[in-house]
Amino acid sequence: MDDFIDKILISQEEIETRVNELAKQISKDYVGKEIRAIGILRGAFIFMSDLIRNISVPLSVDFMSISSYGDDSESGGVIRILKDLDKPIHNKHVLIIEDIVDTGLTLQHLKEVLAIREPASLRVCALLDKKERRIVNNLEAEYTGFVIPDQFVVGYGLDYAEKYRNYPFIFVLKSKYYQGI
């Protein structure tokens, strides 16, 4: 095992199984509809590509890149759109694909921004959920892969200082590899 890995929290096999389950559920719930899947860059890109390959209803993709004001590990609560959607979402069945919901502030603001554009429906599919860190009330993703404890995780799209996105499992780094988390 690589030296920087403290603990593998979710294995490649566990991810694959759960992502397939989510895709099945989504395919069932959206029968007769067309999904506009919106990937939140960059953390969600690997999850999204695995998820949508297992969804069996018509689907198109778009991407948004947002950053929260504040540093990299703590959400500031207000989001800044770095790259907006290419296409309008008016009357579309929008499914936001996120890597992780932590305090919930990012998602709350994102949902507000998108709701103004009047999609036909607006749901969220998040790979990870740090439930105990939530500070926004009544903010739950409609689809959640895994509830995880309050630990900073990387891998499977998630980064620390832009690294570790390429690992096919989700893990905790050894503390000496973090600076100031």
- Residue selected from 9, 102, 141, 171 as contacting ligand 5GP according to rule CB under 6 A: 102
Structure tokens at 164: 């570790």
Residue of 102, 129, 150, 159 marked active site: 102
Q: How far is the CB of 106 from ligand 5GP (least distance, A)?
A: 3
Catalytic-residue membership of 99? no
Helices 45-52 and 12-29: angle between axes, nearest 10 degrees: 60
How far are the Cα atoms of 36, 74, 134, 172, 179 from residue 106, in angstroms, in the given order? Answer: 20, 11, 11, 22, 23
Q: What is the Cα–Cα distance from 153 to 132, expressed in whole angstroms?
A: 15
Rule CB under 6 A: is residue 75 a binding residue for ligand 5GP?
yes
Q: How many residues bind Mg ion (CB under 5 A)?
A: 4
Site string (133-162) toward ligand 5GP, x via CB under 6 A = -------------------xxx---xxx--
Rule CB under 5 A: is residue 140 a binding residue for Mg ion?
no
CB atoms within 10 A of CB 70: 12
Contact residues toward Mg ion (CB under 5 A) are 40, 43, 99, 159
